[in-house]
Structure 1
């Protein structure tokens, strides 16, 4: 039996890089729970409900995928969901430094939970939600960086 993985993130917005990590991790786990972090310290473009709906549209028809929202520590959420794996994507060395520090803290807080890192595909190594939002804010399509439904939602959010 394989494990249940929690893939946490803000997903604001959900990018092709996120989709690539899910596509590649999907055969490795019995189930992937996409945990949309509802961080009160972070100002989000899309509400947690909007992010959930967008991801549901993108992943419509996929089996063994759950989309949920949570607040608080990822390890506490993993315990609640009976998951022993945190799935994380890495784009660059700077991501690794940050994610490695978090994984060490998570290991101290919850020794039974492992962090599983997947390197981003070259095609998506530069894609970040922050950059995508900035480009869309200026009226440019970001259809190469996000699924079509997300591109449409971005353009609508910024330009009605």
Structure 2
């Protein structure tokens, strides 16, 4: 699903499409069957929403749409509570995703350069908090061994995401 998110904590009208802290049109190609997406829950009940099912999509989604079609999707929801449950990166401050191969940290901004910086900063924070890696070492690792891909440029808010290989951190697992 290209569009997934939870309700924002605001009395203002919020459009569900432009991606933000609560989700939206994230359009990350790696989020297929079996992937997990973590959202910072802002309101009671989370109020999850989804749509924009893709049968195929290129990274970037440059022409407004992917190969769109109707679909029936099944989701499993788990509420992780701070201080009680193991939370990836110790806290969810923005959407975070994982699949069997990667941890995925999106960066979202109207400016693609800023989106890249946000993805990088979140990846550094994640590696530091999840694995105890010094921030300077995490930064060097990201430069040498992590792929950053453009998620989408179709919305006013653009997306870039880091794909951090889980296999590189097997020795850190407890």
Q: Answer whether TM exceeds 0.5 for this pair.
A: no
Q: Greater relative contact order (Cα 8 A, min sep 6): structure 1 or 2?
A: 1
TM-score normalised by L of structure 1? 0.42
> More strand by proportion, 1 or 2?
2
> More helix by proportion, 1 or 2?
1
